[in-house]
Amino acid sequence: MENRKIGSLDVSIIGLGCDNFGWRLDYDRTVAVVDAALDAGINFLDTADIYGGTESEEFLGRALEGRRDRVVLATKFGMKVDEQRQGAKPDYARRACEDSLRRLRTDHIDLYQLHQPDPSTPIADTLGALDELVRSGKVREIGCSNFSVEQLREAKAAAGQDARFVSVQNEYSLLHREPERGVLAECKREGLTFLPFFPLAGGMLTGKYRSGQPLPENTRLSKGSPRFLNDKNLAIVEELANFAASRGHSLLELAFSWLLSHPPVASVIAGATSPEQVQDNVKAAGWRLTPADLAEIDKLAPAA
């Protein structure tokens, strides 16, 4: 599989999102998905301390014992674990890192990400603590998530000579193109890597959801009323699926390959609940879209 750079890290262009581990998947099913990812050439695994109520990290640490050196391991901190564990104050950043290292059964985290901005803590304070973690060898690179252009610029100015963010992980898909309003351009200007999460818009871009057809059972969208499931998006999905089919590809291939056509994007982080989904995700990354393709896609799924 093709690799791209996140700072000094070489990562597979399809990553494994580990948010299902510990709540949708038990340990044995987690191992099956991790095994399938490694067998398929995925080396970039992305989790967070809050996923599965911290069990995602626990499961992942157990599953990677004896093969930690085969992966680039990313995790996040800052969202609420409980009343005592949340935010980005320096002392908590240090504690959260130690907690993640213990759960992941490793001596270092390859990419340690601030999961969201903390308005109660100056970013310079957080970056100072993260710089200490980098200098100590406990963290190789640092990144952020859910940051705006203004917050990225504030972080750059605050970093000075200390470690600085090399990546930003925000939501991005054919049905959610908000990063095109500034964050992607900022990434290009500053040499930041962009990591899209929710690349399949909660499942809408898998090809399972089509106009006039009943919702498939036992899926996230069939169990609630998420924001992507509406007539407008179903109509867009239909157009995109027809476009992909006319060129001999699937909607899934279009969703991933379109994201990878944007230069700042290093890896598409995709969750999976089975080995088969992992294999499908990996196969979806091989379509090289032409400028004409991209122009047509813009007409079918315009940026709002």
Give me the residues paired with residue 16 across strands.
45, 270
Residue position matching structure tokens 């992942």: 60
**Paired tokens of 206:** 């898998």
The predicted pLDDT at position 303 comes to 85
Taking the C-alpha atoms of residue 129 and residue 138, their distance in angstroms, rounded to an integer, is 12
What averages of pLDDT result for each successive group of 10 residues across the chain (304 residues)? Answer: 97 98 97 98 98 98 97 97 94 98 98 98 97 98 98 96 96 96 97 97 87 64 67 94 97 97 97 96 94 97 85
- Whether 86 and 92 have beta carbons less than 8 Å apart is answered as yes
Looking only at the bridges linking them, the beta strands covering 193-197 and 268-271 are: unpaired
Q: List the one residue out of 137, 172, 140 whose CA is nearest residue 71.
A: 140
Task: Render the chain in DSSP notation, one character per residue.
Answer: --EEEETTEEEESEEEE-TTBTTTB-HHHHHHHHHHHHHTT--EEE--TTGGGGHHHHHHHHHTTT-GGG-EEEEEE-S-SSSSS-S--HHHHHHHHHHHHHHHT-S-EEEEEE-S--TTS-HHHHHHHHHHHHHTTSEEEEEEES--HHHHHHHHHHHTTS--EEEEEEE-BTTB-GGGGTHHHHHHHHT-EEEEESTTGGGGGGS---TTSPPPSSSTGGGS--TT-SHHHHHHHHHHHHHHHHTT--HHHHHHHHHHTSTTB--EEEE-SSHHHHHHHHHTT-----HHHHHHHHHHS---
Per-domain boundaries in the chain: 3-300
Q: What is the pTM of this model?
A: 0.94
Task: Identify the pLDDT of residue 221.
Answer: 56
Amino acid letter, 42? I
Q: Is 112 one of the annotated active-site residues of the chain?
A: no
For position 210, what pLDDT does the model report? 74
Catalytic residue among 51, 112, 172, 209: 51
CATH class of this structure's domain 3-300: alpha beta
Supply φ then ψ for residue 164, to 5 degrees: -130, 160
Residue 217 pLDDT: 65
Q: Each residue of 90-123: b (16+ CB within 10 Å) or e?
A: bebbbebbebbbebbebebbbbbbbbbbbeebeb
